[in-house]
Structure 1
């Protein structure tokens, strides 16, 4: 990166930070790959960045030296990331892929941190239970309620009806439990506990590698918040 140095004062810190500037080149048809690769560099979070966008056929979309807004880059990055690297009906949970290694997950963490520090941009489409785990190591979120928000609407209606009044015919419940590989037959007594366990598996266990890989990066920025303050970002964050 270029050696254009100045000193920036972080609003939540009494210390100063040296900030270099640099340009990141990304392809419009590979924004996620290019941005996570660029953000695998630990120094990028404290840099003033500009972006150069290339069309798929190689033409420069914006002239060299003209800034492409970081917010616009994030607006391209997050839909691609959500569609290719997460799952879930409403709330989104990251999936693990063999070609998305530790440095890429660290890059995602730095993109989240940079978006927050520069723009107060927070990806509230990522499930609170996952993000709280990725910052603090575990979650205090009600995973039963989170699970009910995460699953398809048809499954949610069946489960919520069963929680309200347990059915005499459990065929639909049995089908749902088989889909989530649960061998314990649902009963009126164990249904709430099993749904809590389903939520913990989906929100914490399956994505634990991604959460723990991003944790040192995310904690460096969001660790200064209490859990309550952090989860409050989901109420009305600026995006």
Structure 2
């Protein structure tokens, strides 16, 4: 069984992002970039399935600028067998990425595609679902447990009321939640080995996909700063402030 895992290059989760002075976006100059944490979980799950003898090959795919090669090398250091970069300098939005992944999947013919449930930069939580719709595959989102057997995927997923278990016929799409696993660290020997693993580079035009942005960002701004807390003398003053100043009652 072949597993495809899309991975995204994002600002490292430890970095405090800054908005550009002109409000056109986030300042990425000299900022540490890393693999999206949810995608690390997806790679880890795919590698575990391979180690269990269920999967035969794990392919990492990333869409974006040339620097995304580093993201793919990290995925291969974790355990992916090879990488595919769909290189584009365009602002790739979720639908465009879903179409690119669909084109790669048509070429590679995986039986399972594992997405991180969302990226920590835009929090769109759309790409996996859009891919499933384009491919016409069964899907299970927010997976906390995945079991593959007899040509089916049994997925436990988190919902508002607790959890539910779905059974999907392969090929299928799964998006990962935090509790699915804890990704391993990429060791130095594996990082060195990853440099020798095959990495193919494609262009959106090679896949016949139009990645022209459909949405326009009008302005990016930092959240309003929280005001300082105050002490009140009694309940009467508290109620007065909640009613007349905060206007919450």
Q: For this structure pair, what is the TM-score category when the shorter chain's length is used for normalisation?
A: under 0.3
Higher helix proportion: 1
Q: Which has the higher strand share?
A: 2
Higher relative contact order (CA 8 A, sep 6+): 2
Alignment TM-score, normalising by the size of structure 1: 0.23
Q: TM-score, normalised by structure 2?
A: 0.22
